[in-house]
Amino acid sequence: QSVLTQPPSVSAAPGQKVTISCSGSSSNIGNNYVSWYQQLPGTAPKLLIYENNKRPSGIPDRFSGSKSGTSATLGITGLQTGDEADYYCGTWDSSLSAHVVFGGGTKLTVL
């Protein structure tokens, strides 16, 4: 059971927009930045978003992030078949034993 809750799967058609949610608590998302990762089949995860809404160099602006309270959202516009992947949220948990936590992952299917 992951500390951060993500929907197991989402789907949308090419060209459409999709959002993936990530729900946590005050000890993690509520008081810390959120990052998002894309994991294509058979490859290592790739950082898409950090500090809630910042994109590393090379990440297209089709990918966006936001945070409100204890939840965060990843948005992907102009869906492409190449976006079909697993997506994970992550953050720092400031509880007694401070540590990094990840969501359980969301499988995006581009129909």
Partner 1 sequence: QVQLQESGPGLVKPSETLSLTCAVSGYSISSGYYWGWIRQPPGKGLEWIGSIYHSGSTYYNPSLKSRVTISVDTSKNQFSLKLSSVTAADTAVYYCARADGYNLDAFDIWGQGTMVTVSS
Q: Which residues form the interface with partner 1 (CB under 8 A)?
A: 2, 32-35, 37, 43-47, 50-51, 56, 86, 88, 90-92, 97-105
**Of 13 and 57, which has the nearer Cβ to partner 1?**
57
**Smallest distance, partner 1 to C-beta of residue 13, A:** 26
**Of 45 and 75, which has the nearer Cβ to partner 1?**
45
**Smallest distance, partner 1 to C-beta of residue 108, A:** 14
The number of beta carbons lying within 10 Å of the beta carbon of residue 15 is 10
CB 94 within 8 A of CB 32: yes
